[in-house]
Amino acid sequence: MVSEVPHTEKPAVKTAEATTPAAAPQQPTATAAPTPTPADRLTQLMQQLVVKCTMLVIKVATCRCEKREACPIYRIAKEIAEIIDEINELRPR
């Protein structure tokens, strides 16, 4: 004998446009994060810049091109590396 499984699906809600399943209860939404101050935004942008520059410097530093010393991109990346190194030395640990 086969027993019947009780029907657990939510009842349909009829609207003027279409029939849809009943909506789940809504949970309270989180409050929006406060808008960062200009100083916070500047710090965030500087951190992003340092990360991107570091990625560039690593790629350029591992370059095996024979003409890298004459390459303007290589020279600029080398200067960026020196600046990042100094910033890292000045940061509190």
pLDDT digits (tens, 9 = 90+) for 2-58: 555 555 555 555 555 555 556 666 766 667 778 889 999 999 998 998 888 888 888
User: Residue 92's pLDDT is what?
Assistant: 80
Instruction: Flag whether pLDDT at 74 surpasses 70.
Output: yes
DSSP state of 55: H
CA 63 to chain centre: 28
For 58-68, the pLDDT digits (tens) are 888 888 889 88
User: Does the pTM exceed 0.95?
Assistant: no
- DSSP assignment of 67-91 equals TGGG-HHHHHHHHHHHHHHHHHHHS
Tokens of 93: 């640990």
DSSP state of 20: E
Residue type, 52: K
Dihedral pair phi/psi, residue 57, rounded to 5°: -60, -40
